[in-house]
Amino acid sequence: ATATAAANANANAATIDSALPQLRQLCVMGIPAELRRQAWPLLLSMRAPLEPSAAKYNLLRQEGETRRAEARRQAERALDDDGEGGADPGFSRDAKCTSLIAADLGRTFPKLGLFGEAGPLREVLAEVLWSYCSLSEGLPYRQGMSHLAAVLLLHLH
């Protein structure tokens, strides 16, 4: 299986290399919206097969959903316990993510309507942000990161 993956990676690299001149020309002229989803990985020089990345993302997404649900349960318990909303939102990393993501979702490109309460990309954006919060290392989630993710979603969807 490893030899097959390596052969596929080499074939993908050769395909990408042969497509680069055409891709550069498209960049100069403007990449049509229907091709942007395929162009982003090429522009970012993603030469490895996407399956390992997709599998890792799916694990992060599942962990993010679990953490999101647990953060909701903790918030509900806190309300039930004292009736005042519970502890400081900074009480835990997940509580902080909950607070920041909830605030960011409401103010991410509000005039577009895509990420608002009934927007078609709101849940997708929330899923991406919670997946990012599930990363155990690196930069923690910060206010405003939703705008970065939203720009990518606009190009990929």
pLDDT digits (tens, 9 = 90+) for 100-139: 999 999 899 999 989 988 899 999 999 999 988 888 777 8
Instruction: Report the pLDDT value the prediction gives residue 88, as an integer from 0 to 100.
Output: 46
Residues 53-109: tens digit of each pLDDT: 778 888 888 988 888 888 888 877 776 665 555 554 445 777 888 889 999 998 999
Instruction: Report the pLDDT value the prediction gives residue 52, as an integer from 0 to 100.
Output: 59
- Could you give the CA distance from residue 31 to residue 22 in angstroms, rounded to a whole number? 11
